[in-house]
Amino acid sequence: MPIRALVVDDAVVMRRMIGAALATDADIEVVGVAAHGRIALQLVSQLAPDVITLDVEMPELDGVSTVRELRRSGCRTPVIMCSALTTTGAEATLDALAAGANDWIAKPAQSGSMAEGVARLAAELLPRIRVLVRSGAPAREPSSAPTPLVRPRVAPARVAPTVAPGLLVIATSTGGPNALADLFQAIPRPLPIPVMIVQHMPPVFTKSLADRLGRDSAHRFHEAEAGQVLRAGEVYIAPGGRHMEVERVGAQMQVALHDGPPENSCRPAADVLLRSAARTMGPQLLACVLTGMGHDGLRGCEQVRASGGQVLAQDERTSVVWGMPGAVVNAGLAHEVLALGDLAGAIARRASPLPLSATG
């Protein structure tokens, strides 16, 4: 059976482009189109689509309000937001993700040709649709309650850390903005170590994400800048479109940014940051891989383990997509595999200045 898609956008040209992009996959069928959210809500009940692509800014009922109505009605159909690369688009997209959308893509630039736009949309949309529909990805759910561990194909190496970490690195992608919000809201006080994050997002979006996370938690977030000195209790998010590394300059650790080639089709890439952090921190590195599509972070976690660092991974049940953490777990690299609601405590315990051999 083909995957049934509903395309929602107020622009006729964009509806056509998305439809053409989806038509390049024989396993996807566009069963309906809508010009705004009110029509979309009617079509969802009539057509029962398997996935919805949803514009952010529309008349009558915008994308954020449409997501809220869908989730309020009990609809669990995966929703992929389509956003313009603007500050307004970034803020609205983050609102939609918080309301229950599963993922998002950036609309192609208007300066390109129709063929280029269709190709870009296909490259962005098709893998997301296949993964979200196949995995039955959940919309956002409260993550504070402990959940049983999913038994990985390769058991985690449960080794109690013997060295207190001096740096936490977090890698995430699909589902990451909500996971990060939940994680840091569950950590009531700033950590006694710096935190560096790679979240797969383009420019503009990472700045909006840092601002939002800082507003909603007790932690101070930055979109990282080159040469910035890492300070305990502060959080640095890799800027969209640039790789981030950590380097030691004298007694200080600093942010290094560069425009090297994408890795795992990503820039920023978690592997780039994790490799540099493993070189710089050795056994004083704590890595955490959260929900995300693909396997970015796998090679970097190999280096973390080789240097004596610790690796935590989010479990399958609480991940929107168990690609990135699943790759790490199934390679036997995770010391613990935990539900999102349990990761905050695990991180806080390891970051404690108390002897960790007693706390595990």
* Residues catalogued as catalytic: 173, 200, 296
CA distance 323 to 170: 15
Burial level of 34, CB count in 10 A (0-12/13-18/19+)?
A: buried
Burial level of 298, CB count in 10 A (0-12/13-18/19+)?
A: buried
CA distance 356 to 360: 6
Give me the torsion for CA of 43, 56, 178, 227, rounded to 10°: 160
| CB neighbourhood size of 186 (10 A) | 18
| CB neighbourhood size of 98 (10 A) | 17
Phi, psi of 236 (to 5 degrees): -125, 120
Report, in angstroms and rounded to the nearest whole number, the Rg of the chain calculated over CA atoms: 20
- 243 alpha-carbon distance from chain centroid: 16
Running DSSP on this structure, what letter comes out for residue 148?
A: P
- Nearest alpha-carbon partner for 63 in 119, 112, 131, 14: 14
- Nearest alpha-carbon partner for 164 in 188, 193, 189: 193
- 342 alpha-carbon distance from chain centroid: 18
Give the CA count within 13 Å in the CB-facing half-sphere of 103: 29
Tell me the three state secondary structure of residue 226: coil
The size of the chain, in residues, is 360
Q: Which positions ≥6 away from 91 have C-beta within 8 Å?
A: 208, 212
